[in-house]
Chains A and B, each alone.
Chain A
């Protein structure tokens, strides 16, 4: 398991506002990385599908069903992650998708909820950097930056190192510590932590959907 940092690359925070498109911003970032000396290592993809509990299983009080996110990460090609917001994270093998089809009666897939990020994977010494474009349907909605530092398994131990590294190519747009590490400082980093961060990022981007920021197109 490798500590990992996900940069909340929403559009408003990125220099996109200066009049560049998402695509241009991504190019800018990757060019910076390449100039640093990072090596291109193929592509990556993280996708997320939202399920909500079916109406038949809900209580009569009319409470809203919990949302469940089923995610895949190309870094863990044999795994499938199922997460609840603020809830537990289940790690299963890829057969889980088939199981979800069987569980139609309890969990229904939200329409057009699929959100994913695709991009290039870079290796720079011990750092693994993934810069991706977050897309929802046909439109690009943001940028995600993931930085992983291989040799360390406790995130808080290498947080400042990650931050410094991020500053080298993001400039001032560095994020605060992810909330995943908020309450546990010495915990060993796990892949589930990565997926929680991606889920939070996707939710953040989804909420911005209603108020499209200028400069996206």
Chain B
């Protein structure tokens, strides 16, 4: 040992752990060694209790020996050994099967005995009846059928109900959607006509004329309301509209401006209490939604209010000889003496009280609709003016103001033109002027008509022009005699009716200015009619071949007429024997004298001077004709008869 180098021998214990598998890389996976208890359990499994029973000691001893041997040997080899033993045994014992059966029966009996003894003690084990589903009674199948039918029916019903619910839900949803859609389309239509804007969750609209140039401070806002919470079950009314508008309370109802002219001043107590009678609301046009009429009415109220506010402001500001009176909702002005123009704002809400009181006193004829309409026109013109004065674009160098004003410098307008641009005549002044004109015109018409109906001879014809200015209109007055229109048309008058006065243009170019007084026109026409008669005689004389000896429109002799002057004409018959002298005055009427030849006058005293017979051809004294006893329907006809009577018979 000492001299020889020790050889190293490595000793490795045999693998105690069984290899379960070897991986491809050579690693071995081991099975974990069995624990003691597991090992015991395994060993116990191997024991064949049937073999080693207590009846044969020998066997048991042999078995024990075997068991000892087996303990060290591999399990698989043991198994093989045992099988070999079992195969071998039947040949050993021919009654083996009997024995086996007996044995097993004994074992079972022993077990039964043990169990029974244990059970009897009731200490460790008890016998309990095994619960077993009792079989359903005889009628069971029918009940079962019923139940199952019920169940399936209930299921079907549930499905149906569910479906129905869903359907109704969708239907209502549809309806709501439809309403919503209607609302939106209505809103769209509203949007086409009115200015709308959204403020928060509200939709507000604009009623005012501000965008058109109005300076009225009223905000004029209306609110658009969604009117969809209607009961769907009930019948939807025909005029139902998903969109509604809410109008400010002071613009509700209907309003209009009333302009009237009264002859005499009313009591002071009556002032400012113009009846607020209600005109029926205009029926909405078919096809236009009711909000449209509602908004239009409200806008009209707003406009009327603006007009009235403007008028009353001007009425207070303007200084006139007779101050304008503004009381409550009425403006009173005196355009002519003893004549009163009243402009009032009538605003009626929808309550019935005002409606009732209205119908009692309503007198339709004192309405001047033309002026009411013109007021609306004027305010719109006013709006336009304010709009155009601030209109852009605008030259940077030019002063602000009206466009024509701006151009007046470069276009070299003279003073008159600039004045006409700057005319700052207010609404009230204009309307008073128009009222004056309208009044003057109607009074002129009335005067002419009354004259025409009162006086038959000569006749008056008035031809009114259809087209007038607001401040001027004209009428042509013809004075004629019936039946002689062709020869007697000397008097043709053109009456230009202005604001304060009437200008009369005569046929020959003379211009006479008459004031607004009714009497002046009447007197003038009367004097013209009286002149007409004399003119007619002159014309007639021409036709009949008589000679005009003298003619005068204004005779300075005789009684003085209170109206105008008398006119006179003297005409001589063609052969000079007779002469007719006519004097016609507007007041005194006509006086006709006929002069006879001297030789026809029997009662004429013989003159000492005119001895010679040739003097008999001189005309003698005048004799008055009893004109009202003459035959003939009018003056000219009578004159014609007279003339023809005095003319020598040509035959």
Whether A78 pairs with B413 at a CB distance below 8 angstroms is: yes
Q: Does B77 contact A (CB under 8 A)?
A: no
* Cα separation A27 to B412 with both chains bound (whole Å): 30
Supposing A93-B398, A95-B397 touch, asked if A77 and B411 sit within 8 A by C-beta, the answer is no
Q: Is A175 an interface residue (CB 8 A)?
A: no
Pairwise interchain contact B409-A80, C-beta atoms closer than 8 A = yes
Pair A93/B410 contact, Cβ less than 8 Å? yes
Whether B410 contacts A92 by the Cβ 8 Å rule is yes
Contact of B418 with A by CB under 8 A: yes
Contact A192 B412 (CB under 8 A): yes
B511 CB to closest chain A CB (Å) equals: 14
Query: Does B162 lie at the interface of the complex (its beta carbon under 8 Å from any beta carbon of A)?
Result: no
Q: Is A191 an interface residue (CB 8 A)?
A: yes
How does the 8 Å CB contact mask read for A16-36 relative to B, with 1 for contact and 0 for none?
Answer: 000000000000000000000
Could you say which residues of chain A place their CB within 8 Å of the CB of B406?
93
Query: Which residue of B is nearest A96, CB measured?
Result: B409
Q: Would B415 and A91 count as touching, CB distance under 8 A?
A: no
Annotate B402-416 by CB proximity to A: 1 below 8 A, 0 otherwise: 000010111111110
Interface size on B, residues (CB 8 A): 12
The distance from the CB of B228 to the nearest CB of chain A, in whole angstroms, is 61
A190 near B412 (CB under 8 angstroms)?
yes
The complex places the Cα of A79 from the Cα of B409 at a distance, in Å, of 4
Task: Please name all residues of chain B whose beta carbon is closer than 8 Å to the beta carbon of A75 when the two chains form the complex.
Answer: 414-415
Residues of B with C-beta under 8 A to A191:
412, 414
On chain A, the residues within 8 Å of B414 by CB distance are 2, 75-76, 191
Main secondary structure of the interface of B (DSSP, over half): loop
Mask, A73-94, CB within 8 Å of B = 1, is 0011111110000000001111
Number of residues of chain A lying within 8 A (CB) of chain B: 16
Please, which residues of chain A bring their CB within 8 A of the CB of B411? 79, 91
- Complex contact A91–B410 (CB within 8 A): yes
CB neighbours (8 Å) of A76 from chain B are: 412-415
Give a binary string over A186-217; 1 marks a CB under 8 Å from any B CB, 0 the rest: 00001110000000000000000000000000
The contact of B418 among A77, A80, A92, by CB within 8 Å, is A77
Among A79, A80, A92, A94, point to the contact of B413 (Cβ < 8 A): A79
> Contact at B409–A92, with CB atoms within 8 Å?
yes
Which of B410, B412, B414, B415 has most chain A Cβ within 10 Å? B412
Contacts of A91 in B (CB 8 A): 409-412
A49 shortest CB reach to chain B, Å: 18
Shortest distance between the CB of A156 and any CB in chain B (Å): 21
**Complex: A135 Cα to B418 Cα, angstroms:** 28
Q: Which of B387-436 contact A (CB under 8 A)?
A: 397-398, 406, 408-415, 418
Closest chain B residue to A150, Cβ basis? B416
Are A79 and B415 closer than 8 Å at their CB atoms? no
State the Cβ distance, B400 to closest chain A Cβ, in Å.
13
Considering the complex, give the chain B residue whose CB is closest to the CB of A92. Answer: B410
The chain A residue with its CB closest to the CB of B406 is A93
3 shortest interchain CB distances as A-B pairs: A93-B409, A191-B412, A78-B409
